[in-house]
Amino acid sequence: MKIGLIIFVLCGIAFIIGTMISSPKVCTSCKPLEFKAMAESGEYKIIDIRTEEEYAVGHLVNASQIDYYKTDVFKNYLDTLDKNAKYLIYCRSGNRSRNAMEIMRNKGFKNVADLAGGITAWTTQGLPVVK
């Protein structure tokens, strides 16, 4: 009986460890290389929440733009999105996107991650932007 219990416990531990190894960790505030990998997966909609002027200077490939500072426009835009889809958001330094991520979660979005350090951290890593 004791051997059966030990085997059962060991199998459970092996299953948990196997799941942890095989399931990639999803970040909520992602470093640039993590964010890049998620963006390249094609599973996420990328949203640049900077101003139009900031966006024009350089943005991530396939990013749509909505100005976080235009509060009503921003919140109305969020209401048009699928709350079950996956989103990556970023701004210049990470402050706006952290706040926006909280707003999105409060509105019921389940899969939102932001770029830690914003596009500034992205370009510091030498990662590409388009104009």
> Strand runs (DSSP E) across 49-102, as ranges?
63-65, 86-90
Quote the crossing angle between the two packed helices 95-106 and 71-79, to the nearest 10°. Answer: 50
As a whole number of angstroms, the distance between CA 95 and CA 127 comes to 20
Q: Answer left, alpha or beta for residue 94, where phi above 0 means left and psi between -120 and 50 means alpha.
A: left
* Residue 11 a catalytic site member: no
Q: Which of 11, 27, 30, 91 is catalytic?
A: 91
Evaluate the CA torsion angle 59, 73, 71, 26 in order and state its sign. Answer: negative
As a whole number of angstroms, the distance between CA 114 and CA 88 comes to 6
Residues with catalytic roles: 91
